[in-house]
Amino acid sequence: MTERSRPAGPAHDIVDIIRAKRDGGRLSDAEIDWTISAYTDGRVADEQVSALLMAIFLRGMSPGELSRWTEAMLASGERIDLSGLSRPTVDKHSTGGVGDKVSLVLAPLVAACGAAVPQLSGRGLGHTGGTLDKLEAIPGFRSALTVDEILDQLERVGCVICAAGPGLAPADRKLYALRDVTATVESIPLIAASIMSKKIAEGTSSLVLDVKVGSGAFMSERRGAAELANTMVALGRDHGLDVVALLTAMDVPLGKTAGNALEVAEAIEVLAGGGPEDLLAVTLALAREMLDLAGIDADPAAALQDGSALACWREMVVAQGGDPDASLPRARVVETVDADRSGFVTRLDARAVGVAAWRLGAGRARKEDSTSATAGVVCLAKPGDEVRAGEPVLELHGDDPALFDRARAALADAFTLSDVPEPLTDVVYERIGAPREAPRD
């Protein structure tokens, strides 16, 4: 790692900085540097930074302010140096959704094609699942790795999915916790800075963003999702990172499962050359973008069919202490939600499914809460499918029978049945970033 790169600079008056932003002013580079450094070091109080975050939420930030804010967050900690790897580096970040197990497939898939994929991931909060929670359903899997272990695994295996260390962008950790309790999470500049400071700190040279749009996503409207994507693409370029973003659908759960062990099993199905069409489509679209940025001319679909992606998955699991042959944990209680009439499924609300999985124990309300590996929801029918009256549409998995009533309540209006099917829409809406280049030699 490299150490933080900018000194704290001379002291400023935090009250003047709050007032300036409250009144719509532009913060100077020196003011931003000092604010982030002073808050990270505990020299500025939570209530003062809370006021500044609300001023930013209401007033926004100019592109220059946002770029400097992100740089100051980077400078608050260390950066991983991946320049010594023999493979080109590329990563992917998703803004989160229901059933989004894409990272589990994507990292070994792109690694099997020749790239190094350093996936520093997080845990779930609320109705969206966390990649680390899913992987820890595998017996023995270890998500806390040292930098040396990360570098060694990237060189030997080509991919790693683990937790970000406390030394990477520590300012973000403090700011995110504060935003969570001050109703300032939804600020696009603050979201963009949070995501990009961590991704730049991890040292990858290129990045593909999966920005989810729909009821199960953080951004429910396409316009806001596009604004966030454009903001993050610009931030990446400001910091020397090649970035492309895809806007992808999240009105319906991705794949058929929402829940930790359930999603691991489905990811393995895709790695073995099968899996649901929507999950496969999003995964391959992201993989092609990642390989293009890495300058690798390879067909990711072929890596799924010839077994090389699955082999890379197994290597990654073993390298992180897991047993790829161990049985995944299963729920003690399984119940169904049945169709009350015959018809075609024309709507399946992703948020409702995510909330039900959360209430069954798959998610957490607070970061310190634990999760259940077995809890979740299986979508037995999705839009376009025909069901008969009395047939199951959803399957609820959990270990605590007392949690099922609240999960069922979340699903009371989760799906719609109609006499005729509705045409299915694409799962990849839009690409944001530089035009694709021809494959490099």
Query: Which of these is catalytic: 12, 21, 93, 123?
Result: 93
93 is an active site residue: yes
Angle made by CA atoms 112, 114, 115, in degrees to the nearest 5: 100
Please name the residues in contact with 87: beta carbons below 8 A apart, sequence gap of 6 or more: 114, 115, 116, 154, 155, 158
What is the helix (H) or strand (E) element at residue 263, kind and residue range?
Answer: helix 260-271
Q: Which residue in the block uniquely carries the two structure tokens 């002073």?
A: 38
CA distance 126 to 172: 19
Closest by CA position to 211, among listed 107, 286, 277, 122: 286
Decide if 198 is catalytic: yes
* Residue in 79, 173, 174, 198 annotated catalytic: 198
Cα dihedral 285, 290, 296, 298 sign: negative
Catalytic residue of the set 194, 197, 206, 372: 194
CA angle 441, 315, 206 (to 5 degrees): 40
Residue 52 CA to residue 34 CA, distance in Å, equals: 13
Q: Residue 199 catalytic? A: no
Known active-site residue 37: no
Find the catalytic residue in 4, 174, 179, 364: 179
Exposure string (b/e) for 345-384, b if CB count within 10 Å is 16 or more?
bbbbbbbbbbbbbbbbbbbbeeeeeebbbbbbbbbbbbbe
3-class state of residue 288 by DSSP: helix
Q: Can you tell me the distance from the alpha carbon of 62 to that of 20, in angstroms, rounded to the nearest whole number?
A: 13
Hey, what are 351's tokens? 């948020």
Cβ atoms 344, 388 nearer than 8 A:
no
Percentages of the chain per state (helix, strand, coil), in multiples of 5: 40, 15, 40
Which secondary-structure segment (H or E) carries 21?
helix 14-22
Are 247 and 97 within 8 A, CB to CB?
no
Residue written as token pair 């944001």: 432
Which residues carry out catalysis? 93, 172, 179, 194, 198
